[in-house]
Chain A
Amino acid sequence: MSGIPIVRIEGLTKRFGEFAAVDAVSLEIPRNAFFALLGPSGCGKTTLLRMLAGFEQPSEGRILIDGEEMAGVPPNRRPVNMVFQSYAVFPHMTVAENVAYGLKVTGVPRPEIERRVGEALRMVRLSGFERRRPDQLSGGQKQRVALARALVKRPKLLLLDEPLSALDRKLREEMQLELVRLQHEVGITFVIVTHDQGEALSMATHVAVMNQGRVLQISDPRTLYEQPRSRFVADFIGQVNVFEARRVAAGDGELRLAVDGIGELALPDERPPEKVVAVAVRPEKMRVSAVPPEEGRVTIAGRVGQIAYFGDHSRVFVEARGRRLVCIRHNRSRREEPSFREGDPCYLSFRPEDAILLSS
């Protein structure tokens, strides 16, 4: 294993006419990563993936896979395989024939094909389904055939375009775990496209958030959630309360901000970004109480607006200074009575170090 990243993308742009579907994207995907591309519909995720697979030619920029320039290399010569959103399982072939296809066309000898097909089917837990036709399979099983068919080729990179979006929720959660297990087992770099943030956070080692053809942030899931850099990312991943803010002073390990709706706020100055335009706080970092909280917490007084019950947690919406803030309460006990009702005065508070600084 060498130190070069498995994928290196430099200034990649794809234009359809005037419109840039992918706009000057540069990124690196480390070896053995489970890399998720996350973003709203139409932000260019599929286009980026298709350029990696070789189905679209970049308008500008270049792609290196394992250090090799991919310009001019057709899809069938790239060390990359793709799992299509529609599965694209060949309807006229059996499961075994589907999986064997990629080996057959590249001239792998028969005995080896048989061995590898058996292995791949075992890996996706489809042993015993060899003779079945795709119309005798469920959606999840077709999905596995598509996976086995790609994995059996032992690509350097496996691309998955919203592989789970056609499955129902339970099956989807099962397949999420399955994919993570598979990725550990085969040690192939996975690049998965999704617009489900939960899916990205729970499966990936790296998440890239895209919007309008640009990559806004690439981080591990935890950093992405706890330290989003821009308002878009903070808002796209989970819920967030955003307060406009201005830098007042910095120094002595402390950063002083003027925050709309809160007043002056002193934060521990860990690694302050160059520019601060807003402060964000996640709802589960907020606490709502009927009495003023203890010292050391940033407090906002308000009124309980609405309580939405979700079973394991409730969302409490608080009206404070003409704004609507949200806070999550975990329902930790069956007997817990809601201590306040709609319209009651209350205090929202959070620890200063839980505030996220947004620079754009």
Chain B
Amino acid sequence: MAERRGAPGPLEYTRRFWVRAWLAATFLFLYAPIVILVVFSFNDSRRNIVWRGFTTKYYAKAMANDSLIEAFTNSLVVAFLSTLVSTVLGTLLALALWRFRFPGKPVVEGANALPIVIPEICMGVSLLVFFSSIGLMSGIPWPASLTPIVIGHIAFSFPFVAVVVRARLEGFDRSLEEASKDLGASEWQTLRYVMIPFLKPGIVAGALLAMTLSLDDFVITFFTSGPETITFPIKIYSMVRFGATPEVNAASTVLIAITLLLTVIAMRMQAPVRGEGKE
């Protein structure tokens, strides 16, 4: 291209050789493992070390593995429920902290950050102790048996949602809220028609974060899952202990595909409101 000739401009970092090399190395470091995982899911070999030809039979095999499918379903159900609840809770918490002044507010704010900083292992143990002591850990039929996991996931992911939404709120022009009320809208209508549309990118980002946290959580799930309830990461872990088979790769690839799809959807929803940032 014509404009590529000449000395690099001040912001054209990507035209310098060493910057490009660095970028390439970074991408390699980040994505090579994932690419290899995906590629080898199509490898026609039991041992999964040398490439032996293309096949999709491990996908079929993974599909036929009932306990894997069950774990996968569990993970999706848990992720869905905990994302839903923690998004609502986190958003409300952010709104409350932004909107009101009340006694003990700094305490609430601090307590809110706790689940983010507490080591997961501690949270896992404490949840286990808690759930066992109230008898929620065993002898419950299927969907309800996921309750402890869902609650555990909500507990550690809603503060993340709150943090993200709160950051977005800082940029909110309060006179929009006043204008809405001035025009006759109730508190609720103002929330629904003015605040939520403005907060949407933050809420979506928070939800995505909550979902990712839930989908791949191992430690807390490990402690809060009963003997019969198993989620995808835990199932994979138990499978890998007997050697990483292409079946594991196949299942993981499906999960990656789902995550990617959701991320794309989220990014489209996150496209900033037009007109914002001007003025």
Chain B residues in 8 Å Cβ range of A101: 180, 183, 185, 193
A86 touches B182 (CB 8 A): no
Complex interface: stretch among A26-34, A73-81, A249-257: A73-81
A88 touches B173 (CB 8 A): yes
Chain A residues in 8 Å Cβ range of B243: none
Contact code string A177-203 (vs B, CB < 8 Å = 1, else 0):
000000000000000000000000000
- The CA-CA distance from A153 to B185 in the complex, in Å, is 12
Q: B184 contacts which of A76, A88, A91, A133 (Cβ < 8 Å)?
A: A76
Complex interface: stretch among B99-107, B139-147, B250-258, B270-278: B270-278
> Number of residues in A with C-beta < 8 Å to the partner?
28
- The CA-CA distance from A90 to B275 in the complex, in Å, is 9
B176 touches A90 (CB 8 A): yes
Q: A153 contacts which of B173, B176, B184, B278 (Cβ < 8 Å)?
A: B184
Chain A residues in 8 Å Cβ range of B197: 92
By beta carbon, the residue of chain A nearest B273 is A92
By beta carbon, the residue of chain B nearest A142 is B279
Q: A84 contacts which of B178, B184, B276 (Cβ < 8 Å)?
A: B178
Q: Using A84-B175, A105-B186 as known contacts, say yes or no to A91 and B275 having CB atoms under 8 A apart.
A: yes
For residue A5, CB closer than 8 A to chain B, the reply is no
A149 touches B183 (CB 8 A): yes
Chain A residues in 8 Å Cβ range of B185: 76, 101-102, 105
A76 touches B182 (CB 8 A): yes
Chain B residues in 8 Å Cβ range of A87: 279
B182 touches A133 (CB 8 A): no
Residues 66 to 120 of chain A near chain B (Cβ within 8 Å): 74-77, 80-82, 84, 86-88, 90-92, 101-102, 105-106
Contact code string B104-130 (vs A, CB < 8 Å = 1, else 0):
000000000000000000000000000
Q: B189 contacts which of A105, A134, A149 (Cβ < 8 Å)?
A: A105
B183 touches A81 (CB 8 A): yes
A91 touches B183 (CB 8 A): no
Chain B residues in 8 Å Cβ range of A135: 274-276, 278
By beta carbon, the residue of chain B nearest A82 is B182
For residue A55, CB closer than 8 A to chain B, the reply is yes
Contact code string B172-214 (vs A, CB < 8 Å = 1, else 0):
0101101111111110010001100110000000000000000
Chain A residues in 8 Å Cβ range of B184: 76-77, 102, 105-106, 153
For residue A318, CB closer than 8 A to chain B, the reply is no
- The CA-CA distance from A86 to B279 in the complex, in Å, is 9
B181 touches A84 (CB 8 A): no
Chain B residues in 8 Å Cβ range of A136: 275
A91 touches B181 (CB 8 A): no
For residue A234, CB closer than 8 A to chain B, the reply is no
Residue with the greatest number of chain B CB neighbours at <10 A, chosen from A84, A105, A136: A105
Residue with the greatest number of chain A CB neighbours at <10 A, chosen from B173, B182, B279: B182
B275 touches A88 (CB 8 A): no
Chain B residues in 8 Å Cβ range of A55: 178, 182
A105 touches B276 (CB 8 A): no
A92 touches B183 (CB 8 A): no
- The CA-CA distance from A34 to B180 in the complex, in Å, is 25
Contact code string A321-355 (vs B, CB < 8 Å = 1, else 0):
00000000000000000000000000000000000
- The CA-CA distance from A55 to B180 in the complex, in Å, is 12
Q: A88 contacts which of B179, B189, B198 (Cβ < 8 Å)?
A: B179
Chain B: minimal CB distance from A13 (Å)? 22
Q: Using A86-B173, A101-B180 as known contacts, say yes or no to A91 and B193 having CB atoms under 8 A apart.
A: no
**Can you spell out 24 A-B residue pairs with CB atoms less than 8 angstroms apart?**
A53-B182, A55-B182, A75-B181, A76-B182, A77-B184, A81-B182, A81-B183, A84-B175, A84-B178, A84-B179, A86-B173, A88-B178, A90-B194, A91-B278, A92-B198, A101-B183, A101-B185, A101-B193, A102-B184, A105-B180, A105-B184, A133-B275, A135-B274, A153-B184
Q: Closest 9 interchain pairs by CB?
A: A135-B275, A102-B183, A88-B179, A91-B275, A105-B185, A88-B175, A92-B273, A134-B275, A106-B184
